[in-house]
Structure 1
Amino acid sequence: MKQPLILFLCFCAFSFAEAQGKYFTRTGHISFYSKTPLEDIQANNRQVASVIDFSTGEMVFSVLMKSFEFPKALMQEHFNENYIESDKYPKSTFKGKILNIQTVDVQKNGSYPVEVEGELTIHGVTKPVKSNGTLEVKENKIYGKSQFTVAVADYNIQIPKLVRDNIAKNIDIQVDMVYEPFKQ
């Protein structure tokens, strides 16, 4: 299966001189939502790999596009074959940094607002993104949440005229992660 390889590559994005301060997940959840007068579309992916290095603020995400699940099989087929072209662009990635990492105390339970910026790659196109989110420290786990919007056109995703009114021009993305300490 490709997931262990992607997780390994995700970890390789960091230089692991020491494991202290690093948290990871390979079962993160990312969903997206498209709302139009004709149709609402929602998809979920619960196989997202991600790592946060709390000593530097660096973070990375790797998302297998074929792991998005839709309520209708035909939607999933169109998403993978016609729009995202998952065979050609099998994953989406984010590489960035938590700008205010010094405000997060992983040793103290609490909720911490964070600012994240980096580069998001979808459909072979990389764009800078910036978003706010929340990291909640609770019982030696980190719960990360964020919401942001991406414009379909920014990532060269072509929507056929026939269904153009069924898919929103801007897609809402929701990120919901549960990180655990990385142990070598």
Structure 2
Amino acid sequence: MKKLLLMAIVLIGTNCFAQKPLISKNTNISFFSSTPVEDIQGINNTAISAIDVNTGEVLFKANNTAFQFKKKLMQEHFNENYMESEQYPVSSFNGKIMDKPDFNKDGTYTVTVSGTLNVHGVSKIYTTKATLIIKDKIVKASAAFKVKTADHKIKIPSLVITHIAEVMDIKVNATYQIN
């Protein structure tokens, strides 16, 4: 009976005091394509992200139509011709921080994040380094990695192949508040 009571206290205590996931509603995701002919950048400041500090699981989601470009025509081509945003409205990343830090301890941490990036209906595993800066109950996360358009079956018409890079530079920045 004492063991059962002790287990109940531990389980209730764990559930009552378990830390909520960290959530960022204004995550910035950008991509950059550079060729000798043209540079193209798309920026999305309305992506969402979450980190489970207990397990290290991370999630990022971005509406494809929320990417903004310098030229309106680029945005139209991005959504209609390349991302096919009506058919594939969301891009996402589900992964895990492999060497998660103590989120209650201030510091700058370089971590490895590995998971599945789903873009254009195609999922592919990526592993990259990320930087987590924890200070005064605020976590700033940033990462950069490269994505080949062909890996996600994004077709670039031969007419504009010299205007769009085969490999995109992706950058992610998010800020979370620790409760």
Fold match by TM threshold 0.5: yes
Cα distance, 1:81–1:119 mapped onto 2, change above 3 Å: same
Cα distance, 1:41–1:17 mapped onto 2, change above 3 Å: farther
C-alpha distance in structure 2 between counterparts of 1:36 and 1:115, whole Å: 29
Residue 139 of structure 1, CA deviation: 1.8
* Deviation digits for residues 123-176 of structure 1 (CA, Å, limit 9, x no counterpart): 000000000010000221110000000000000001111111100000000011
C-alpha distance in structure 2 between counterparts of 1:92 and 1:67, whole Å: 11
The equivalent of 1:30 in structure 2 is 29
Q: Rg larger in 1 or in 2?
A: 2
The equivalent of 2:152 in structure 1 is 155
The equivalent of 2:112 in structure 1 is 115
Give the TM-score, by structure 2 length: 0.89
Secondary structure of the residue aligned to 2:70 is coil
C-alpha distance in structure 1 between counterparts of 2:78 and 2:18, whole Å: 38
Task: Flag structure 1 segments of 5+ consecutive residues without an equivalent.
Answer: 1-15
User: Does 2:102 correspond to 1:105?
Assistant: yes
Secondary structure of the residue aligned to 2:74 is helix
Secondary structure of the residue aligned to 1:159 is coil
Residue 181 of structure 1, CA deviation: 3.1
The structure 1 segments of at least 4 consecutive aligned residues displaced by more than 2 Å after TM superposition are 16-19
C-alpha distance in structure 2 between counterparts of 1:169 and 1:63, whole Å: 21
C-alpha distance in structure 1 between counterparts of 2:176 and 2:126, whole Å: 22
The equivalent of 2:51 in structure 1 is 52
- Matching residue within 126, 130, 133 for 1:129: 126
The equivalent of 2:142 in structure 1 is 145
Residue 110 of structure 1, CA deviation: 1.1
Residue 54 of structure 1, CA deviation: 1.1
Task: Flag structure 2 segments of 5+ consecutive residues without an equivalent.
Answer: 1-14
Code of the residue aligned with 2:134 in structure 1: it is: V
Give the TM-score, by structure 1 length: 0.86
- The CA RMSD measured in Å over matched residues stands at 1.4
Code of the residue aligned with 1:158 in structure 2: it is: K
Identity of aligned residues (%): 44
Code of the residue aligned with 2:164 in structure 1: it is: I
Secondary structure of the residue aligned to 1:171 is strand
The equivalent of 2:90 in structure 1 is 91
C-alpha distance in structure 2 between counterparts of 1:137 and 1:62, whole Å: 22
Code of the residue aligned with 1:156 in structure 2: it is: K
